[in-house]
Structures are given as C-alpha cells and as structure tokens.
Chain A
Amino acid sequence: ETGVTQTPRHLVMGMTNKKSLKCEQHLGHNAMYWYKQSAKKPLELMFVYSLEERVENNSVPSRFSPECPNSSHLFLHLHTLQPEDSALYLCASSPRGGDGYTFGSGTRLTVV
C-alpha cells in the first residue's frame, strides 16, 4: 500500500459512457495531481490541485473533468472519450515545497 489509493484498477468503457476515477490519500499532503501515461509517450501532467484549488490545467480536453472535494480526495470524471484516451491514469500527492510525489498504482483505462 503506497498511501495513495486509486480505484478502479482497470476500466473498460464505451465512447458514450460516463465514468469516474477516484483517488484517495491520507498522507496529510495538500497537493494532488492527475497524470496520463500512454505507451511510448512521456508522462503528461493533466491537472494540479493545491489546497483543493485547481492551479494547473494543461490544455486537457473538456471530456476530462477533475473534482477535488477535499484535500484527501480527487476525482477524474470522464465522458464521451475517444480510443486515443486509452492509457494508464496516475494520481499523485505531495506536500508543499517540491519534496516529491507519492503515486497511486493507476487506473488502466481502455476506451472501446
């Protein structure tokens, strides 16, 4: 157990479905992140939340919608995805000050 828990571990969804990815941390960290990891591509930072406020949004399509209801939970709401959105979605958390991340095990998403 890494301290950051992501559910589900695997998700298969059709292009017209709506689903959500969940991330939970109880490390007392106050920043949380969503990353996308596709085959043969670098890690892509999608969203950053610091103290529950979104501080970064790297030109992510609107079919991805993040939500951070409190400092321990982070969601990624998905709707009308495309097959190219199939990837490993990683959540991470960190304390303030650039002291490194703790990652979850990821959600392997397949869009059919």
Chain B
Amino acid sequence: AQSVTQLGSHVSVSEGALVLLRCNYSSSVPPYLFWYVQYPNQGLQLLLKYTSAATLVKGINGFEAEFKKSETSFHLTKPSAHMSDAAEYFCAVSVLGYSTLTFGKGTMLLVSP
C-alpha cells in the first residue's frame, strides 16, 4: 500500500521568502504524485502532478516540485511567497492503473507581510 507523510502541519514564511513544503512517499511500485491546494471552505485544487515524465514539475501559481526517487520525496517549492498563497496544501500518491489517491495530513502555509 502507498502512503505519504507531510512534515510540519504548519509552515510560516514572510512575503517574498522561499516556500518549501515537504512530502515523502512510500510506494512499492512507481508512484504518481500530486500536490493540491485548499482555500477556506473550498474544495481541493490541483497544483501539479508527477506521472513518470520529467522529474521537475511546474504547476500553477509559480509552484514547482521535484521527484527524487532516491529520497522518496516530492517537495513543493515557490521562490517568492505571496499573501495569496496562504492556504492548506496536500500531497497525494496513487499507483499506476489504480486511481484512488492517498492524501497526506496537509500543511497549512501562513504568509506574513
């Protein structure tokens, strides 16, 4: 079975600072990996996904993530935080041919002026 671990339930950054949200996965077969963002009282919106093509994946709103098999990681980064990035971020994993996603517990990103 697959699983994901998100390190840190809350991450605080200043506006303009680097954003780094950590995700490690466990999977016995090559995984598909996803990052989702959730704003208050909204559903989850797909930021980006890795599906075994390029290991550096670019998503919406300036976010990107790098798949590192040796570290079983898929950390989310953004060079410069904006106030509008404040939200909860979820990492998720699925395996090829089986569509159910397994989500991490989420990381709340707080951005201060």
Q: Which chain B residues numbered 54 to 110 have a C-beta less than 8 Å away from chain A?
A: 90, 94-101, 103-106
Residues of A within 8 A of B34 (CB): 100
Range, interface on chain B: 20 to 34
Interface SS of B by simple majority: strand
Bound-state Cα–Cα, A27 to B97, Å: 19
Q: Assuming A31-B99, A97-B99, is B104 touching A42 (CB within 8 A)?
A: yes
Contact A50 B99 (CB under 8 A): yes
Number of A interface residues in the complex (CB < 8 A): 28
CB pair A106–B41 under 8 Å, yes or no, is yes
Whether A99 touches B104, Cβ cut-off 8 Å, given contacts A90-B43, A90-B44, A106-B41, is no
Residues of B within 8 A of A (CB): 32, 34, 36, 41-46, 49, 51, 90, 94-101, 103-106
